[in-house]
Structure 1
Amino acid sequence: MMLGAHYDHLGRGRGGDSLARGSEAGEIHNGADDNASGVAAVLASGASLAGAERGRGIILAFWSGEELGLLGSTDFVDQAPVPMDQIAAYLNFDMVGRLRDNTLNLQAVGSSTIWTGLAEELNQPIGLNLTFVADPYLPTDVRSLNASRVPSLNFFTGSHEDYHRPTDDAHTINYEGLDSIIELGTAVTANLVTRPDAPDFIRVQEVQQRTGGAATMRIFTGTIPDYTQEVEGLSLSGVVGGGPAEQAGLQGGDVIVGLAGQSVTNIYDYMYALDLLKVGEPAEVIFIRDGERMSVEMIPSVRE
């Protein structure tokens, strides 16, 4: 059994993924939610389970290079210091410090038939509002373990306007909510390590990806994807204040279904369409808001 979280972040944000605004550029990105919150969850769960009776060992894993492309977890899978078929299941904690509306998103539940029912059962005394996403092909370390046929579950409280900015600091964390998430993660782990059989593994079919190129890294739209929703299109959890998306009138809850003449059915389509954008040139964005199909012009800027 394995619990894991990535412990790297962006430093001063000079690697291209920073969303720092204006004078924030070059400041330290402390990453309180992304992903000190996940590291804290793994440490706390591990401490709670250290003296508990169990039939399986528990590995606590802290990944480096997640922000650079899941480098740490990918290397673990490739080198396999522990035979991968001996890892019964993997729980990943990535950005679990911003519980809002008491809602926790559990992702990659499609990787095993056990996840949804087990989480709902163990959550009853905790009382979180759980939402579920089947897709295990996420931009976090569950993707690496899933590729090696390890049933995986990702805990996630959603993106926010401080994502990849120096403002992702400790005072923004919902500590009471984090405690509840740790309680659920610990309960799931305690249940799994006392079961005689490992959870079954289901291979979820991956959506064909069309990924953006180098130009995508330069274009800034200010959209914040909502990875907690499974919809046709790109659901937004919010937009960066003052960014192109906000200036165009987009807002959290909108679902982008078209960009620059390209159909958008998922985040991969969106990333592909970003390659077609040019800084300073208007591009049509088609989106759904409250069931109504709408369109606006957005003027992309350059990522600082």
Structure 2
Amino acid sequence: NEVGDVHNGADDNASGVAAVLQAGSQLAEMQRERGVVLAFWSGEEFGLLGAHAFVQSEVLPADQLAAYINFDMVGRVRDNVVTIQAVGSSDAWPSLIERTNVPIGFDIRTQQDPWLPTDSMAFNLADVPTLSFFSGTHEQYHRPGDDSDLINYEDLERVARFGALLARRVANLDEAPTFVTVTQSVEGGGSRDMVRVFTGTIPDYAAEEDGLLLGGVIEGGPAKKAGLRRGDVIIEFAGVTITNIYDYTAALAAIKVDVPVAVVYMRDGKRMETELIPTARQ
């Protein structure tokens, strides 16, 4: 029983914080045509709350953001492999990644899909080109053993350097990367989403009503197949009463891949029921 044990989260996600701080210190010494904002989000595990709040606040309107680069679990690089996700969100990314990697020398593995359980998805939903750096899952994920003695500091510094050089390239482009809408797909490559069940729901994080208001569902996903759609309000999920995003997140932790769950929802004032079959993110 690990309840009550200290979870230091060295890789998830102190490593990402360290990478951003290090990249920022390097960017401060680089000539740039555009500004670069360093930002840190809270509430990711409860539904990307911090990132969504930033996007919705329009402190920096989405149409003024050239791109968003995310670092989530980048401290456990193994065999020189780094995964860069959401590459399909702009046609500009492949060449930028290839050129930036020349002095760094990682074995880069890319994933096109931007529909990720990390903060970059909040920006993808706002039509901002995104990338997310990730060094892979491990046995200590979400456990007390995720501690600093297991961090690969040398390669973490290389990740930060990569991020700084990539951000500088984006900042100095004549034109900002063009956003590309990507349909959610199933693909491999070592992403963290492999360890989570997939329901295909897109919550409306700004909603204040009881239940979980759906801002949309991912095409071809379990929610879509179950008949759910934008505007539906989930009030029960797998036997759990849902009053907010926190209830929904807790309910997700208890469900299993390929095991049907009952979903009760409201649509146009009518109480409705369906069965959703979660899948594994591949």
Pairs aligned (count): 209
2:30 to 52, 55, 59: 52
Letter in 2 for 1:203: T
The residue matched to 2:40 in structure 1 has which SS? strand
2:152 to 174, 179, 196: 174
Task: Find the aligned partners of 1:148 and 1:217 in 2 and give their Cα distance.
Answer: 27
Task: Find the aligned partners of 2:106 and 2:279 in 1 and give their Cα distance.
Answer: 36
1:37 to 3, 8, 15: 15
Task: Find the aligned partners of 1:171 and 1:28 in 2 and give their Cα distance.
Answer: 15
2:253 to 217, 230, 237: 217
2:162 is aligned to 184
Shift of 1:210: 2.4
1:83 is aligned to 61
Contact 1:216/1:271 (<8 A) preserved: no
The residue matched to 1:158 in structure 2 has which SS? coil
Which 4+ runs in 1 deviate beyond 6 A? none
Shift of 1:271: 6.9
Letter in 2 for 1:272: P
Task: Find the aligned partners of 2:104 and 2:254 in 1 and give their Cα distance.
Answer: 43
Task: Find the aligned partners of 2:114 and 2:142 in 1 and give their Cα distance.
Answer: 22
Shift of 1:153: 0.3
2:278 is aligned to 272
Letter in 2 for 1:136: P
Within 5 Å, which residues of 2 pair with 1:251-270? 259=258
Shift of 1:218: 2.9
Shift of 1:261: 9.2
Does 1:208 pair with 2:220? yes
Contact 1:56/1:194 (<8 A) preserved: yes
- Deviations for 1:99-130, whole angstroms, at most 9, x for unmatched residues? 01110000000000111221112112211000
2:116 to 128, 138, 155: 138
Q: Identity over aligned residues, as a percent?
A: 48
TM-score of the two chains, using structure 2 as the length reference = 0.69
RMSD of aligned Cα (Å): 2.3
2:135 is aligned to 157
Q: Give the gaps of 5 or more residues in structure 1.
A: 1-21, 222-257, 263-269, 275-304
Task: Find the aligned partners of 1:208 and 1:108 in 2 and give their Cα distance.
Answer: 18
TM-score of the two chains, using structure 1 as the length reference = 0.64
Letter in 2 for 1:168: D
Task: Find the aligned partners of 1:116 and 1:109 in 2 and give their Cα distance.
Answer: 7
Within 5 Å, which residues of 2 pair with 1:4-23? 22=1
Task: Find the aligned partners of 2:65 and 2:17 in 1 and give their Cα distance.
Answer: 20
Shift of 1:51: 2.9
Task: Find the aligned partners of 1:218 and 1:122 in 2 and give their Cα distance.
Answer: 41
- Deviations for 1:150-191, whole angstroms, at most 9, x for unmatched residues? 100000011110000011011110001101111111110111
Q: Give the gaps of 5 or more residues in structure 2.
A: 185-218, 224-236, 241-250, 262-275
Shift of 1:25: 2.6
